[in-house]
Every structure is written in C-alpha cells, then in structure tokens.
Amino acid sequence: MQVPYEVRFISDQKGHGVFALEDIGQGRVIYRLQSDQRATVVGDDLLQGYVERFYETEEDLARFLTYSFCASDKTCVDATASDCRFINHSAVRPNSALVHGSGDSVSIRGIRAGEEIVEDYGEYPSSPGYDILLGKHPSLVSALWDYTQSPD
C-alpha cells in the first residue's frame, strides 16, 4: 500500500476494510502490486497452471477467487498476500479505482482520514482465462456474484 492506512474489522457480514489514516488527494496511488503478485494470463492453461501450483485445495481456490482480480484481459492480480485484499466494494460511492492494465489503484476523489477506501468491483476488466476458471467452479461463482452485486 502506498498511503498510510489501517485494516479494521467492520462486521461479520462485511469482514475487514482498509481505512485512510490521513487525507488523501485525488489521483494518488493507493496500492501498487509488485510483479510477483501478478499472474500473466494468456488463456485458461496458464491461469489453471498457476492456480494448481499455488492453491491445492478448494478452500485455497476460494481464497484465490475472492482475493484476486483482473487488471487487463491478460493479467490476473493475486492479492492474497496484500492488504489491498481488504479493500471492499462500493458501486454507490467508490473513492479509488484500478488503473486498467496494471496492478495499481488510484484515488478518484479526495479521501478523508478515517474513511474506508472502496472500489467498484464491477469496473474491473475481465480475462477469458479467469472467466473459464470461474466457470469450472459454479458454487464459488454464485457466492462471489452475490457479494459483488450488493450496492455497498
């Protein structure tokens, strides 16, 4: 993470969230994931191989699908080891957004100290390989879909 923050428990339903410890101006980098936290996806085989190498159980896979996202149609970001995995969804009033094609997120408006940092997951790009992987695990997909479709 590129800004002062803390992870706080919010509720049993929402889990944890990331909160700004100081005012953050618009356009500031919130997080920048390192290259070892990105899995380059050129199709189902590479993503499936990555997942099989690092995530052996169904529980591990659920964690990967929960805490990963597509940065472009060829790059899937594995955020399972980064505190950015605690950035929650808000379609109503997001204050940060993924820069497509990277693993970076920037503030899209000013964020006040103490405010939760949130992104609109619906704005993340999709990857064919990621979509195929999700298609192989429909029970996980429905749980993720329900979560990302909630307004906040």
Report the alpha-carbon distance of residue 96 to residue 76 in Å, rounded: 19
Average pLDDT, the chain: 78
Report the alpha-carbon distance of residue 138 to residue 94 in Å, rounded: 28
Inter-CA distances, 45 with 29, 132, 136, Å: 32, 10, 13
What is the model's pLDDT at position 110?
97
What is the model's pLDDT at position 114?
98
What is the model's pLDDT at position 9?
96
What are 148's two structure tokens?
């990302």
pLDDT greater than 50 at residue 25: yes
Strands, E assignment, 12-151:
15-20, 29-32, 38-40, 68-70, 75-78, 88-89, 96-98, 104-107, 116-119
* Residue 118 or residue 72, greater confidence: 118
What are 11's two structure tokens?
């509720």
Report the alpha-carbon distance of residue 130 to residue 80 in Å, rounded: 16
What is the model's pLDDT at position 38?
54
Cβ-based neighbour number of residue 5 at 10 Å: 23
Residue whose C-alpha is closest to residue 68's, from 8, 149, 148, 138 = 148
Q: Is-contact 65 143, C-beta < 8 A? A: no
pLDDT greater than 50 at residue 145: no
pLDDT greater than 50 at residue 128: yes
* Residue 144 or residue 53, greater confidence: 53
pLDDT greater than 80 at residue 131: no
Residue whose C-alpha is closest to residue 97's, from 120, 79, 131, 128 = 120
* Residue 41 or residue 130, greater confidence: 130
Give the fold, CATH level 3, of 5-141. Beta-clip-like (2.170.270)
Rounded to an integer, the average pLDDT of 94-122 is 91
The residue ranges of every structural domain in the chain are 5-141
- pLDDT one-digit tens code per residue, 41-78: 445 556 767 777 777 777 777 777 777 777 776 677 77
